[in-house]
Amino acid sequence: MSKRKNMVDATVKRSKNEKWNVAADGVKLGQVDGLCDATDLLYEAGYKVYAYRRQPSASGKSGFVATCIKFKPKEDV
């Protein structure tokens, strides 16, 4: 993770039910069907994704670390 305080590493990991668990700043944001949906979920939560890095696990399940910049989402008027 970067030293900039607005940079965040989010995790996107495959669960047992073949969905993707998305978490950022230690908070689980939800489950989605794919990486595009994970990117949308992170953006809605205030994280702009700049890159995904593959994160292999010992269990053989695939996962990714997303490097994000945290921002304040605009309020819907």
pTM: 0.80
pLDDT at residue 32 in the model:
95
Q: In the chain, helix, strand, coil percent, each to 5?
A: 15, 45, 40
Q: Which residues of the chain have pLDDT under 70?
A: 1-4, 58-61, 73-77
For 34-47, write each residue's pLDDT tens digit: 989 999 999 999 99
pLDDT at residue 23 in the model:
94
Whats the size of the chain, residue-wise? 77
Alpha helices in the chain (DSSP H): 35-44
- Whole-angstrom distance, CA of residue 16 vs CA of residue 8: 26
pLDDT at residue 18 in the model:
84
pLDDT at residue 21 in the model:
93
Residues 30, 59, 69, CA angle at the centre, nearest 5°? Answer: 40
